[in-house]
Amino acid sequence: MSETRRHPAHPLVALLAVLALTAIGCSMQGGSADPRTSSASPPSDGGPRAAPNPHLGREVPPQGGGAAESTSAPASSAAPSPSTVGPQARPPVSDTLVRSTAGSGRRVALTFDDGPSAEWTPKILDLLDRYGVKATFCVVGEQARAYPALVRKIVAKGHRLCDHTETHDERLARMPEDQVRKQIGGARDAILAAAPDAELEWFRAPGGGWSSAIKKVAVGYGMKPLDWSVDSRDWERKGVDTIVATVQRQLRPGGVVLMHDGGGERSQSVAALARLLPWLVQQGYSFDYPG
Ligand SMILES: [Zn+2]
C-alpha cells in the first residue's frame, strides 16, 4: 500500500508523505496491536474463570476429552465465552459407559463404592488426605440418609460423588423403568439432601449390571454412567497382597479403579489403599476424576 501512495511529484510532498506514513506505521504497530491482544487476554484469565474453581467440579469434565493440559488451554480461546462457562454450563451427557479418567496421560481415578460407612469411610478419607489425592465416592442412598455428615465431609475434602442407587439392589438391570427411577432418584435425593451443593456427575450400577433403562434414567438426571477398568475385587477379601497385586497388574494409564469403603468389613481395602497410594505416586501416576 505505501508504494502506491508515493505518486506526488513534489519532493517536499513526497517527504511529508513518507514521514506521515512512517508515523502511521509506528502507531499501528505499537498502538493498535496492543490494545487488541490486551483487551482479549484479561477477561480470559481473569475473574470469570476463577469463580468456578472453588468447586473443582465443573472445570475439567466439559473439556475432559482433550489433552492433559486442557484445563488451562481453553482460556486463550475462551475470551468471549466466560459467561457460558459459568454455573449454567452443562455438558451434554452421553450414555457411553465411562471407564477412563477425564484427562489423558499417566492418570488414575480412584473410586470407592457402597458407603459412606461410619467405620471405613473416615479411614479412606484420611489416607487420601495424606497423599493429597481426590477420589470419587459412589454413595448408596440409604447410607447417605444414615450418615449425611459423612457425605458432606467427602464433598468438603474435594472428592466427588456418584449415585449408586438407593438400596444397592443388584437386580436393577432387570427392573422396569419406574423402579429404576426410584432407585436412582431416591439415592440422588438422599445425597443432595445431605450435601445440597454437591454435584452428582455420575451414576454407577450395582455390580456393574447395566440396562438401557438404567442408562436412560441416569442420563436423564444428567449423570454419566460410570463403570471401571480395574476391579480390585477387594470385596472378596482374599488378602491385602491379592488386592494390591490385582490393581498393579490391571492398571494402565487412564484407568478407573473400583474399591470399596462400604458394604462390609473393609479393613483389607484400607490396608491395600495404604500400599497402593505410595506405589501409584512412585509409578508417576497423577490422580484424576473419571471422564
Ligand atoms: Zn456397589
Q: Which of 168, 260, 261, 288 is catalytic?
A: 260
137: amino acid identity, one letter: F
- The per-residue pLDDT for range 32-45, each reduced to its tens digit, is 333 333 333 333 33
Q: Which of 30, 27, 28, 22 is nearest to 6 (CA)?
A: 22
Residue 260's DSSP bridge partners are 113
- For residue 168, the CA-to-ligand 1 centroid distance in Å is 6
pTM score, whole prediction? 0.71
Rounded to whole angstroms, the Cα distance separating 144 from 140 reads 6
Q: Which of 113, 163, 234, 261 is catalytic?
A: 113
Q: Predicted confidence band at 92 (pLDDT cuts at 50, 70, 90)?
A: confident
Q: How many domains does the chain have?
A: 2
Nearest to 277 by CA among 285, 266, 288: 285
260 is catalytic: yes
Indicate whether 30 belongs to any domain: yes
Percent above pLDDT 70 for the chain:
69
Residue 120 is classified by DSSP as: T
Say how far apart CA 226 and CA 177 lie, in whole Å. 19
List pLDDT tens digits, range 251-285.
999 999 999 999 999 999 999 999 999 999 999 99
Poorest-confidence range of 25-39, 141-155, 187-201, 270-284? Answer: 25-39
Q: Read off the CATH number of the domain in which 170 is found.
A: 3.20.20.370
Ligand 1 centroid–CA 48 distance in Å is: 38
241 is catalytic: no
Host domain of residue 136: 107-287
Which H helix or E strand runs over 115?
Answer: strand 107-115
Residues 66, 192 within the same domain:
no
**C-alpha cell of residue 264:** 462390609
Per-residue model confidence (pLDDT) at position 93: 93
